[in-house]
């Protein structure tokens, strides 16, 4: 049981180049998320998905696109990378459940992808 995995772990791009980050989870979770983490800014949600074939915008979606063609995979694309997209990107998944007492939706995170855009 690998949990949440991300590829690649590191990447350096030149301005204007494109790339796709892959996230995979083996916990059969419905929800998946892409975050970016920047010094002094904390974690910010880019896009998320509540199920196969669905995606939605988060707090900072501009410059990114996503796809959830299979339940276990969530792809994050940068069509034309900019230096402002230099960051550490984290993928997470969860399976929200309403139980007695309320909502439980523990998020499980991948190890991250460190992206530098020159």
Point out which residues bind another protein (CB under 8 A).
4, 33, 40-43, 45, 48, 56, 58, 90, 92, 99, 101-112
Q: Is the Cβ of residue 64 or residue 90 nearer to another protein in the bound state?
A: 90
Rounded to whole angstroms, how far apart are CA atoms 17 and 14? Answer: 6
- Vertex 98: Cα angle to 73 and 36 (nearest 5): 40
Nearest approach, Cβ of residue 81 and another protein (Å): 22
* Residue pair 24/4 in contact by the 8 Å Cβ criterion: yes
Q: Is the Cβ of residue 33 or residue 117 nearer to another protein in the bound state?
A: 33
């Amino acid at each position: 049981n690998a949990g949440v995995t991300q590829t690649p772990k590191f990447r350096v791009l030149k301005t204007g180049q494109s790339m796709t980050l892959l996230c995979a989870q083996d916990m059969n979770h419905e929800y998946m998320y892409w975050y970016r983490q920047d010094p002094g800014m904390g974690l910010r949600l880019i896009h998320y998905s509540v199920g196969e074939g669905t995606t939605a915008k988060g707090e900072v979606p501009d410059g990114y696109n996503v796809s959830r063609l299979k339940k276990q995979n969530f792809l994050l694309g940068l069509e034309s990378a900019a230096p402002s997209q230099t960051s550490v990107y984290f993928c997470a998944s969860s399976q929200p459940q309403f139980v007695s007492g309320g909502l439980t939706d523990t998020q499980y995170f991948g190890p991250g992808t460190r992206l530098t855009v020159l």
